[in-house]
Chain A
Amino acid sequence: MKDILKNLCKSGVILLCSWLNACAVVEKSKLQWRYDGRVFSPLAEVNTGLDNAYYAFDTPEGLYLAGFKVDGKNINHPYLVFINKQLNRQIEWPQTQAVEQLFFYKKQLYLLDETGHTQIKTDNHWREHPLTLSANSRVITSEKALIACVPTPLASADYTRGHCYSITKNWRVDIAWRSVTPTLCNNILMAVSDYPSRGTLHQIDIDSGKIIKSSSEPQITPGQSLCDLLMN
Chain B
Amino acid sequence: MELHFFPGQKLLLALHITGNNQVKVAGRYEAWSGPSTGGTDPRMPEEPTWPGEYIIAKAKVYLTPSWKLSGIKWGTPLQDKPSINDVWYRIKPQTWASVKKDHAISRKDIIRLHFELYQIRTVPPTWVFNDFGPVVIMWFEDRNNNKQLDGDETLSGQFFHTTPENEAQVSANLPVTFKNSHGCIHLHPKDRNLLFSQGFFNPGTPFTIHSYYERYLEKPL
Which residues of A are at the interface with B, using a C-beta cutoff of 8 A? 35-37, 51-54, 68, 70, 73-78, 98, 114, 152, 154-157, 159, 161-162, 174, 176, 178-179, 193, 195-196, 222
Known pairs A51-B83, A52-B85; A76 contacts B70 (CB<8 A): no
Instruction: Give Cα A192–Cα B111 distance, bound, in whole angstroms.
Output: 26
Chain A's interface: helix, strand, loop or mixed, by majority?
loop
Task: Tell me how many residues of B have a C-beta within 8 Å of chain A.
Answer: 33
Say whether B206 faces chain A, with CB atoms less than 8 Å apart: no
Q: Are A52 and B43 in contact (CB under 8 A)?
A: no
Instruction: Give Cα A179–Cα B83 distance, bound, in whole angstroms.
Output: 23
Q: Are B84 and A156 in contact (CB under 8 A)?
A: no
Q: Are A156 and B107 in contact (CB under 8 A)?
A: no
Contact flags (1/0) for B165-191 with A, using CB distance below 8 Å? 100000000000001001000000000
Residues of B contacting A76 in the complex (Cβ-Cβ under 8 angstroms): 82, 111, 121-123
In order of increasing CB-CB distance, the 7 nearest A-B pairs are A52-B82, A36-B83, A35-B85, A176-B42, A156-B131, A195-B42, A76-B121
Q: Are A68 and B42 in contact (CB under 8 A)?
A: no
Known pairs A114-B112, A157-B163, A179-B104; A75 contacts B120 (CB<8 A): yes
Known pairs A156-B131, A156-B182, A159-B41; A70 contacts B109 (CB<8 A): no
Instruction: Give Cα A176–Cα B85 distance, bound, in whole angstroms.
Output: 26
Residues of A contacting B80 in the complex (Cβ-Cβ under 8 angstroms): 70, 74
Residues of B contacting A78 in the complex (Cβ-Cβ under 8 angstroms): 121
Interface residues of B in 30-88 (CB under 8 A from A): 41-44, 67-70, 80, 82-85
Residues of A contacting B127 in the complex (Cβ-Cβ under 8 angstroms): none
Interface residues of B in 91-126 (CB under 8 A from A): 104-109, 111-113, 120-123
Residues of B contacting A157 in the complex (Cβ-Cβ under 8 angstroms): 131, 163-165, 179
Q: Are A176 and B43 in contact (CB under 8 A)?
A: yes
Q: Are A70 and B82 in contact (CB under 8 A)?
A: yes
Say whether B129 faces chain A, with CB atoms less than 8 Å apart: yes
Q: Are B112 and A155 in contact (CB under 8 A)?
A: no
Chain B residue nearest to A151 in the complex (CB)? B109
Instruction: Give Cα A78–Cα B82 distance, bound, in whole angstroms.
Output: 13
Chain B residue nearest to A174 in the complex (CB)? B42
Q: How far is the CB of A162 from chain B (nearest CB, A)?
A: 8
Q: How far is the CB of B200 from chain A (nearest CB, A)?
A: 25
Q: Are B107 and A54 in contact (CB under 8 A)?
A: yes
Q: Are B67 and A35 in contact (CB under 8 A)?
A: no
Residues of B contacting A53 in the complex (Cβ-Cβ under 8 angstroms): 85
